[in-house]
Chains A and B, each alone.
Chain A
Amino acid sequence: MTTRTTILSLPVEEYVHPGNRACTGCGLGIAYRIGLKALGPDTIVIVPPSCLTVLQGLFPVATTKLPSLNTTFACTAAAATGVLEALKAQGKDHVNVVAWAGDGGTADIGIQSLSGASERGDDFLFMCYDNEGYMNTGVQRSGTTPQGAITSNTPFKGKLQQKKDVAAIMTAHGIDYVATASAAYPLDLHDKVKKAISLKGVKYIHIHTPCPPGWGFDARYTVRVGELAVKTGYWDLYEVEKGVFRLTGASAKTLKAGTRKPVEEYLKSQVRFRVMSPEQAADVQARVDAKWSTYSGGAG
């Protein structure tokens, strides 16, 4: 990043009202609040059904201070396109159009419209806040639930399959900007949003978003759990700008300093992984190691 935002230079203006219905310690609460700071006042938000629908408020009270369009589950990206095209048709080209979808609305039911819009190159930012399951319907398994995690419909054995890598799918669309982020690293997220809105076409940011009730940890540890995911190399902060991959922030530091922690520390921080066997945990570690063996000094 060219200029790094610090806590002191982070915009003071808030675009989210307090007293909303998000759960105590909600990771989305952090990511949404900081993301909107980066987007600023000239922004229209698109929201499919998700935890954000709840956070946003029930009629007639809105938590978000920006205009927002709630859409059906499958058409988030199409709705972003619709708003964008309407603005263009009216000669309004200074407004950021930003979709905020959960992992279901992105990776599962929403991927068709997201892929379509990405292929068309429509000019909006798509934020996926990934809490790794259908959390506001009661913690059901999604395409991005990680292997081994207990959910309401993987109740005893944990999810058997691997997590879907949406950022890689989006990168394969050849769009100009794909980034991963974490609710635990709000400044890194802020700067990625700032960069994304300076570029054309569909931009995609995938935010690892710890969920206290869904993942099974005390609400005070939301940031800690998110940090552990990054410090163990389980979740990496990176960006792919015009095809060039680069680790960012804490992930870049971890690579440089060689301080990657054992994945076990992350897995042990949450109840949802409690049924994983030592062999399964070792397998996760091996996968993380293999992934990190592909990272090299290009990080900055």
Chain B
Amino acid sequence: MHVIETGNTAAALAVKLAGAQVVAAYPITPQTPLTEKLSEYIEAGEMDARYVPVESEHSALGVCIAASSAGARAFTATSANGLLYMHEQVHWAAGARLPLVMCVANRAVGAPWNIWNDHQDSISQRDTGWIQMYCCDHQQIIDDTLKAFRVAEATSIPVMVCYDGYLLSHTYMPFAIPDEDQVAEFLPPFRPSYALDPGSPANLNTVTLPEVRLDVNGELAHGYMEIRYLLQEDLRNAVQVVEETDAAYQAIFGRGGAPLVEPYRCDDAEYVVVGMGSITYQLRDVIETLRAEGHRIGVLGVRLYRPFPDAAVAAAVRGARGVFVMEKALSYGYEGALCSDLKSALYDHLGELGTAPSVKGLVAGIGGREIRTADLADALRSGLAGSVPDPNWIGIQL
């Protein structure tokens, strides 16, 4: 079935279809319409879940962590400062290996207060051990949110599904709603590795020592370092799980095929613009304009940001002379995190690439500053001519 609805509704429909059993959330713009929808579904009896109207985002994720520890499929959503207020819990959920799913309607973080879109909120959570997916349109929001549950449960790693606040969360677009029976085939009920149970008592997340130690059966148990290493190992392996999950989704629903990176006219490209989220679809228009001017240029949307699909990113820009990384966030004091990650991937894969393209970072849309297609084209033209604008913040008026 196709509908014309908002991105937040797309996410809510996915959570309903996924059969989340516990939903806990605290209101923050622009996430609120998503949780309002879930409240409606649950109160109307369309969705069999417990909705917990918590008193803070810290508690929202706290409820989900505990609910997941007790064996329930749990979901939350937030934005901006709400996500930052959760930060401790974001780390905790990954360390506890809980397959939670959280939607983030991306929004700028204070100070100063700003409710509009950029990616600073979720990018600042990149080192927490979560899987992060970035959506470019409404169809991806509903599809990715469903896939997120399967990926999370297959890896015991929580997944953050990120989509641009307002630009996607509040705009109306057509998208297909997956069929309920097919969802049941794609996503079986949650079977936790362990759920808190008086019949099988265990203490979870206890203080864990720097060194390994014997357990009650005299077997060597891991120390903190081993537990953390296995999170890293599983995260690296999660790239493949994301691909397999996408393939399974594609087999059932006929959509997908580019779960790691989404290239657009990159095959013959001398230059590639790399970005995440809705801006990468906007860039497709820009690229057409520049191609009409004779530039061989393409766009690469990074759909999976953590674990970083370094091999896929490197392969996608292979043969290009130059790469422009267009970001809505910054690692303040240096450059955009995606720009650094991409450079790092190129360095790691230099052997396969032979030579690495030049990489220039560009910053756009901070705090919801309008990203005008003409400005993007101008910035890229100057980059193609040899130097990106200085400062490299597109549209800045100092």
Which of A42, A64, A87, A115 has the most chain B CB atoms inside 10 A of its CB? Answer: A87
Contact yes or no, B62 A113, CB < 8 A: yes
* CB proximity to A under 8 Å, residues B190-205: 195-198, 200-205
A46 proximal to B (CB < 8 A): yes
Contact yes or no, A59 B66, CB < 8 A: no
Contact yes or no, B22 A82, CB < 8 A: yes
Q: Which residues of chain B come closer than 8 Å to A42, judged between CB atoms?
A: 198
Interface string of B39-66 (1 = CB under 8 A from A): 0000000000110111110111111111
A22 proximal to B (CB < 8 A): no
A219 proximal to B (CB < 8 A): no
Measured CB to CB, the closest approach of chain A to B130, in angstroms, equals 16
Give the distance in Å from the alpha carbon of A60 to the alpha carbon of B203 in the complex: 9
Give the distance in Å from the alpha carbon of A90 to the alpha carbon of B197 in the complex: 12
Give the distance in Å from the alpha carbon of A54 to the alpha carbon of B125 in the complex: 30
B331 proximal to A (CB < 8 A): no
Q: Which residues of chain A come closer than 8 Å to B60, judged between CB atoms?
A: 78
B108 proximal to A (CB < 8 A): no
The listed residue (B49, B58, B198) touching A113 by CB distance below 8 A is B58
Measured CB to CB, the closest approach of chain A to B221, in angstroms, equals 4
Contact yes or no, B198 A43, CB < 8 A: yes
Give the distance in Å from the alpha carbon of A80 to the alpha carbon of B24 in the complex: 13
B67 proximal to A (CB < 8 A): yes
B292 proximal to A (CB < 8 A): no
Determine the residue in chain A with the shortest Cβ distance to B223.
Answer: A59
Given A42-B198, A60-B221, A72-B88 in contact, is the A82-B24 Cβ separation under 8 Å?
A: yes
Q: Which residues of chain B come closer than 8 Å to A119, judged between CB atoms?
A: 55
Measured CB to CB, the closest approach of chain B to A55, in angstroms, equals 11
B233 proximal to A (CB < 8 A): no
Contact yes or no, B203 A57, CB < 8 A: yes
Contact yes or no, B206 A70, CB < 8 A: yes
Give the distance in Å from the alpha carbon of A86 to the alpha carbon of B49 in the complex: 9
Given A41-B198, A75-B59, A78-B54 in contact, is the A86-B70 Cβ separation under 8 Å?
A: yes
* CB proximity to B under 8 Å, residues A60-116: 60-62, 64-72, 74-75, 77-83, 85-90, 95, 112-113, 115-116
Contact yes or no, A116 B207, CB < 8 A: no
Q: Which residues of chain A come closer than 8 Å to B24, judged between CB atoms?
A: 78, 81-82, 85
Q: Which residues of chain B come closer than 8 Å to A88, judged between CB atoms?
A: 50
Given A57-B203, A67-B196, A86-B21 in contact, is the A79-B55 Cβ separation under 8 Å?
A: no
Give the distance in Å from the alpha carbon of A89 to the alpha carbon of B24 in the complex: 13
Measured CB to CB, the closest approach of chain B to A170, in angstroms, equals 15
Given A82-B64, A113-B62, A115-B55 in contact, is the A69-B204 Cβ separation under 8 Å?
A: yes
Give the distance in Å from the alpha carbon of A115 to the alpha carbon of B221 in the complex: 38
Determine the residue in chain A with the shortest Cβ distance to B63.
Answer: A82
Contact yes or no, A59 B63, CB < 8 A: no
The listed residue (A70, A90, A112) touching B55 by CB distance below 8 A is A112
Q: Which residues of chain A come closer than 8 Å to B61, judged between CB atoms?
A: 75
Interface string of B192-231 (1 = CB under 8 A from A): 0001111011111111110001111000010000000000
The listed residue (A58, A86, A116) touching B59 by CB distance below 8 A is A116
The listed residue (A59, A90, A113) touching B213 by CB distance below 8 A is A59
Interface string of B326-362 (1 = CB under 8 A from A): 0000000000000000000000000000000000000
Measured CB to CB, the closest approach of chain B to A283, in angstroms, equals 36
Determine the residue in chain B with the shortest Cβ distance to A40.
Answer: B198
B6 proximal to A (CB < 8 A): no
Given A59-B209, A113-B58 in contact, is the A85-B200 Cβ separation under 8 Å?
A: no
Q: Which residues of chain A come closer than 8 Å to B213, judged between CB atoms?
A: 58-61
For chain B, which range describes its interface: under 10, 10 to 19, 20 to 34, or 35 or more residues? 35 or more
Give the distance in Å from the alpha carbon of A65 to the alpha carbon of B199 in the complex: 10
Give the distance in Å from the alpha carbon of A42 to the alpha carbon of B63 in the complex: 21
The listed residue (A41, A61, A67, A85) touching B63 by CB distance below 8 A is A85
Q: Which residues of chain B come closer than 8 Å to A43, judged between CB atoms?
A: 198
* CB proximity to A under 8 Å, residues B47-104: 49-50, 52-56, 58-72, 74, 88-89, 92
Which of B65, B70, B72 has the most chain A CB atoms inside 10 A of its CB? Answer: B70
Contact yes or no, B204 A82, CB < 8 A: no
A120 proximal to B (CB < 8 A): yes
Give the distance in Å from the alpha carbon of A61 to the alpha carbon of B208 in the complex: 10
Given A89-B72, A90-B72 in contact, is the A57-B67 Cβ separation under 8 Å?
A: no
Contact yes or no, A60 B215, CB < 8 A: yes
Which of B53, B66, B216, B221 has the most chain A CB atoms inside 10 A of its CB? Answer: B66
A142 proximal to B (CB < 8 A): no
Contact yes or no, B70 A87, CB < 8 A: yes
Give the distance in Å from the alpha carbon of A225 to the alpha carbon of B47 in the complex: 54
Contact yes or no, B62 A67, CB < 8 A: no
Determine the residue in chain B with the shortest Cβ distance to A115.
Answer: B55
Given A60-B213, A90-B21 in contact, is the A78-B69 Cβ separation under 8 Å?
A: no
Determine the residue in chain A with the shortest Cβ distance to B217.
Answer: A60
The listed residue (B65, B70, B195, B215) touching A61 by CB distance below 8 A is B215
Contact yes or no, A83 B66, CB < 8 A: yes
Give the distance in Å from the alpha carbon of A67 to the alpha carbon of B61 in the complex: 21
Contact yes or no, A65 B216, CB < 8 A: no
A44 proximal to B (CB < 8 A): yes
Measured CB to CB, the closest approach of chain B to A132, in angstroms, equals 23
Determine the residue in chain B with the shortest Cβ distance to A66.
Answer: B201
Contact yes or no, A83 B196, CB < 8 A: yes
Q: Which residues of chain B come closer than 8 Å to A46, judged between CB atoms?
A: 66
A53 proximal to B (CB < 8 A): yes
The listed residue (A44, A78, A86, A95) touching B68 by CB distance below 8 A is A86
A interface residues, Cβ below 8 angstroms from B: 41-44, 46, 53-54, 56-62, 64-72, 74-75, 77-83, 85-90, 95, 112-113, 115-116, 119-120
Contacts A62-B201, A78-B66, A83-B70 supplied; 11 other A-B pairs, CB < 8 Å: A44-B70, A56-B203, A58-B207, A60-B206, A74-B88, A81-B63, A85-B50, A86-B67, A86-B70, A88-B50, A116-B56
B interface residues, Cβ below 8 angstroms from A: 21-22, 24, 49-50, 52-56, 58-72, 74, 88-89, 92, 195-198, 200-209, 213-216, 221
Q: Which 7 pairs across A and B sit closest by C-beta, in order of nearness?
A: A82-B66, A116-B55, A75-B62, A78-B59, A86-B72, A86-B70, A78-B62
